[in-house]
Amino acid sequence: MLMESCISWAQEAGAHKITLEVFPHNDAALTLYRKFGFQQEGYFSRHLRRSNGDLWDLMVLSRFLK
Ligand SMILES: CC(C)(COP(=O)(O)OP(=O)(O)OC[C@H]1O[C@@H](n2cnc3c(N)ncnc32)[C@H](O)[C@@H]1OP(=O)(O)O)[C@@H](O)C(=O)NCCC(=O)NCCS
């Protein structure tokens, strides 16, 4: 419902595209986003530093609107 609401809001606001960021290991989120037509546009390696010092990759997904 949140995804549908977000996409509808963006369409009504006149946006042409939505982008989002997600960790590559987040399979549930990736599955959900792909079901809504989002496709990978970018991949940032070792992009975010976690509090324990680990560096995590980050994916950018996008979807064009009508
Ligand atoms: C992302 C989130 C909102 C998805 O909600 P949801 O759709 O209710 O999640 P589900 O657990 O039902 O999983 C969605 C799909 O991913 C699949 N999935 C879940 N965990 C998975 C895993 N570890 N590996 C592969 N697929 C997985 C499910 O089978 C489901 O697919 P299906 O509908 O075809 O059965 C929920 O997982 C969540 O709140 N996560 C924590 C916050 C978060 O990660 N937000 C996104 C930040 S970018």
Query: For the chain, which residues make up each domain, given as ranges?
Result: 2-64
Burial pattern 17-52, b for ≥16 Cβ within 10 A else e, equals ebebebeeeeeeebeebeeeebeeeeeeeeeeeeee
- Residue 38 · residue 3 · CB < 8 Å: no
| Mean pLDDT of all residues in 25-48 | 98
Q: What is the pLDDT of residue 66?
A: 87
| Mean pLDDT of all residues in 44-62 | 98
pLDDT (tens digit, 9 = 90+) per residue, 1-29?
Answer: 999 999 999 999 999 999 999 999 999 99
Residue whose CA lies nearest to ligand 1 atom number 3? 29
Residue whose CA lies nearest to ligand 1 atom number 39? 29
Q: Is 26 in the pocket of ligand 1 (CB under 6 A)?
A: yes
Class of domain 2-64: alpha beta
Q: Decide if pLDDT at 39 tops 90.
A: yes
- From 32, 33, 35, the mutation candidate for ligand 1 (largest count of ligand atoms within 8 A of CB) is 32
